[in-house]
Structure 1
Amino acid sequence: MDARMWRLPPELRSGLEGPEYVQVEGHAHEYRGMLQVKVERLRVLDSSEVSEEDYVPATEKDRRALAAELELAGEGIENPHLFELFALMVSDAEFWEAFCTAPAAKAMHHARIGGLLEHAVHCLRLARSLAELYPADRDLLLFGAIFHDVGKIRELSWGRGGFAYTTQGRLLGHVVLGERIVAGYIDRLPGFPEELAMHISHVLLSHQGEVEYGSPERPKTLEALLVHFIDNLDARAAMFLETTRNVSPGGWSHHENPLNRALYLPETSGDAVET
């Protein structure tokens, strides 16, 4: 919405250093067919007066419960080295807070506060099922499913009323950043097996699947292949659900969406049971 203030306070005449939240009082009117606000009073708000989640999308799920589910999964890891690595990462309060708060994307899927956490939990649940079907290293598969997108905490910023790419996110991307984050924790663990570290790096670096989608390598182990498809499945299912959220049963979405096609929401049968 456009807004105009004709008598700007002296402290604002030189502009602001960056985006800020402000409290505005004024009158709305129509100007050339558009709604416009004539601002009478404007005050820059202190950060203590603002809750970011009031102004950006946030998961509706209980983030504490989601984080607890991941922490419990980490406690169940049998490989002593992966167990120690998981525990070290979760015990880093600053890292874990960022992981549990970050969006999973700027716009494509799970683009909301807590979106990365939500995506990680969904991928964990899928990985558990696939671990029962295929002869994969279960601990490595679960670790990769949870932390494959960990680089998003550095690729994206989520303050000041919106999501944006950081400079390092634009230059390096979350795939490389994620591998560096995990490798940094591995370096703090004396005696961590080099081969296991290599397999972790491969899972992280290949999870996008193809070079054109940002992966330096294509998946070449069973665990890497499964993590790629788990990530892809949850991301695309989320794209469908988010695109059709306001579509009535029996209706179609607009074709301009992350899946680049009109999406159909079937009418539910009368005997369908909500779970």
Structure 2
Amino acid sequence: MDKTGTLDARMWNLPNELTEGPPPSGYVHVEGQTHEYRGMLQLKVERLRRLKADEVEEEDYVPASESDRRAMAAEVLEAGWALENDHLRDLFGSMAADRELWEAFCEAPAAKTMHHARVGGLLEHSLQCVRAAKALARLYPVNEDLLVFGAIFHDIGKVRELSWEKGGFAYTTEGRLLGHVVLGERIVSSYVEGLPEFPEELAVEVSHLLLSHQGETQYGSPEEPKTLEAILLHFVDNLDARVEMYRESTKNVSPGGWSHHENPLRRALYVPEDRTWSVAPGDGDEA
């Protein structure tokens, strides 16, 4: 893998230094040929060499969103400033005005490995959730402002749950101990406290959105969704995550082929003969 993605690879003639197995992590220079195997693109490695630290530019290996982060951030800002509820708009504004928080929100991955595991992945995922939330608000009798606010910041806790330095993604200590759901609610609540006129009932509804968006306690939510906005936010979040899992797992699968079974959805995935994905997620169009 490098910043452009992941490719299945096999090496049949191992050099002596790899006969006892590959290193657990590190950087290598690889030469080989790509070919199709059971409908998937695969690399047949012919030569492999460990790279020294001074030979590596880590930014070349950290996966990053292919979508324009400035454009995505601008669309999220537009959605936030368009909130009609004065209190939610003020809350959004206070969070967006915090330069450190906003920059982290625009840079963070959405996960370590599961979906949108790339620099800018959290922004990309949040924007897709905003787009879906707006569409659902036209179909159901929902508080659109509350749903859109939740779509923007439901995963804000990941800016503290995850680190994306030193060439890879990892969980922080507080991320391991508390998880992004609790961290996210704490982050948003801290900004609510800075708005003395923020209604208490609305603050509770916002906290419920954040604490329940994972859907079930077994997936990290202290509470299950109990308002219409919370129910829709959970499904919007889950929908975009699973679509991205499919896209990532089938990225190197030819039309008519199957992915490996080893993917976050725990099943082999099929790409129909007439299906192509030529547009990066977040661009708003489908091929």
Q: Same fold (TM over 0.5)?
A: yes
Deviation of 1:164 (Å): 0.2
Residue equivalent to 1:202: 208
Which whole-Å CA distance do the structure 1 matches of 2:53 and 2:207 have between them?
Answer: 50
Residue matched to 1:192: 198
Amino acid at match of 1:189: L
Counterpart residue type for residue 53 of structure 1: E
- The DSSP-based 3-state class of the residue aligned with 1:233 is helix
The aligned length equals 239
In structure 2, what residue type is equivalent to 1:31? N
Q: Distance in 2 between matches of 1:63 and 1:142?
A: 19
Q: Within 2, Cα distance between the matches of 1:274 and 1:95?
A: 31
Tell me how far apart the structure 2 counterparts of residues 173 and 135 of structure 1 sit (CA, whole Å): 32
Paired with 1:169 and 1:193, the residues of 2 have a C-alpha distance of 29
Asked if 1 retains the 8 angstrom alpha-carbon contact of 2:255 and 2:275, the reply is: no
C-alpha distance in structure 1 between counterparts of 2:74 and 2:226, whole Å: 31
Label 1:36 to 1:265 Cα distance change in 2 as closer, same or farther (>3 A).
closer
Deviation string, structure 1 residues 220-251 (Cα, Å, up to 9, x no partner)? 00000000000000000000000000000000
Of 63, 76, 80, the residue aligned with 1:74 is: 80
State whether structure 2 residue 121 is matched by structure 1 residue 115.
yes
Residue 89 of structure 2 aligns with an amino acid whose one-letter code is F
Matched AA of 1:86: F
Pick aligned residue for 1:133 from 112, 116, 139: 139
Distance 1:38 1:249 in 2: 35
Q: How far, CA to CA, are the matches of 2:286 and 2:131 in structure 1? A: 20
Superposition deviation, residue 206 in structure 1 = 0.2
**2:91 alignment partner AA:** L
Deviation at 1:124, TM superposition (A): 0.3
Q: Tell me the SS of whatever aligns to 1:218.
A: coil
Choose from 5, 16, 20 the match for 1:31.
Answer: 16
CA shift for structure 1 position 53: 3.4
- For the aligned residue pairs, the C-alpha RMSD in angstroms reads 2.2
Amino acid at match of 2:139: L
- Find the residue that maps to 1:108 and give its secondary structure: coil
Higher Cα radius of gyration: 1
- Specify every segment of 5 or more residues in structure 2 that has no aligned partner in the other structure, as ranges: 1-13, 20-46, 277-284
Query: Normalization by structure 1: what TM-score?
Result: 0.82
Written as runs of structure 1 = structure 2, the 5 A alignment for 1:198-237 is 198-237=204-243
Aligned position for 1:147: 153
Identical pairs, percent: 65
SS at match of 2:254: coil
Q: Could you tell me which residue of structure 2 aligns to residue 177 of structure 1? A: 183
Deviation track 1:248-275 (CA, whole Å, cap 9, x = no partner) reads: 00000000100000000000179xx974
Alpha-carbon distance in structure 1 between the residues aligned to 2:48 and 2:159: 37
Task: State the SS of the aligned residue for 2:90.
Answer: helix
1:75 to partner: Cα distance: 1.2
What TM-score, normalized to structure 2?
Answer: 0.79
